[in-house]
Structure 1
Amino acid sequence: MPPRVREFSLFRNNRNQAIRIPVEFELPGDHALIRKEGERLPVEPKDKAGLLGLLSLRERLDEAVLDVDDLVPDGHDIL
């Protein structure tokens, strides 16, 4: 599937340059992060903060980490 591209206008909001994000590119939440990479400005939703964000991170880590028992060859005792 080719990436979706849409042209938009830039405008001024006091001293800031701004855009209106089209509805099909809408981001979840109330805050986003932007960074400058050469001439590009990638924008992404800000991760959840607080306890819920930490808990969701822990769930992702638990899925990615192997149990120590899975790393010990059969017939070997690590203690």
Structure 2
Amino acid sequence: MRTVSIFKNGKNQSIRLPDDMAYEGIDELEITRIGDTITLRPVRPSWLSLAELPKADMDLLQDRPSVFIDEGRFEL
């Protein structure tokens, strides 16, 4: 287990993550606290953020080959 120092940053407490524990390409972390355990993890897109993405073109799947094969299938 490694330890880091806590220091004051204005009215907040801060820590510096060691280089080998740095998050690459992550701009935002989620922080949770349960008792005396504080957990940091990358913010992941939620289902609500899906609405912010551009919509797919109507012809997106037009040229897609069928993956269903009727051979060997039967009606119930």
Give the TM-score normalised by the residue count of structure 2: 0.56
Structure ranking higher in helix proportion:
1
Query: RMSD between aligned alpha carbons?
Result: 2.4
For residues 42 and 18 of structure 1, the distance between their equivalents in structure 2, rounded to whole angstroms, comes to 14
Identity %, equivalent residues: 29
For residues 35 and 5 of structure 2, the distance between their equivalents in structure 1, rounded to whole angstroms, comes to 20
Q: 1:46 aligns with which of 26, 43, 48?
A: 43
- How many residues are paired up? 52
Name segments (4+ residues, structure 1) moved above 3 Å: 48-51
Structure (1 or 2) with the larger CA radius of gyration: 2
Give the TM-score normalised by the residue count of structure 1: 0.54
- In structure 2, the gaps of 5 or more residues are 54-73
For residues 13 and 25 of structure 1, the distance between their equivalents in structure 2, rounded to whole angstroms, comes to 21
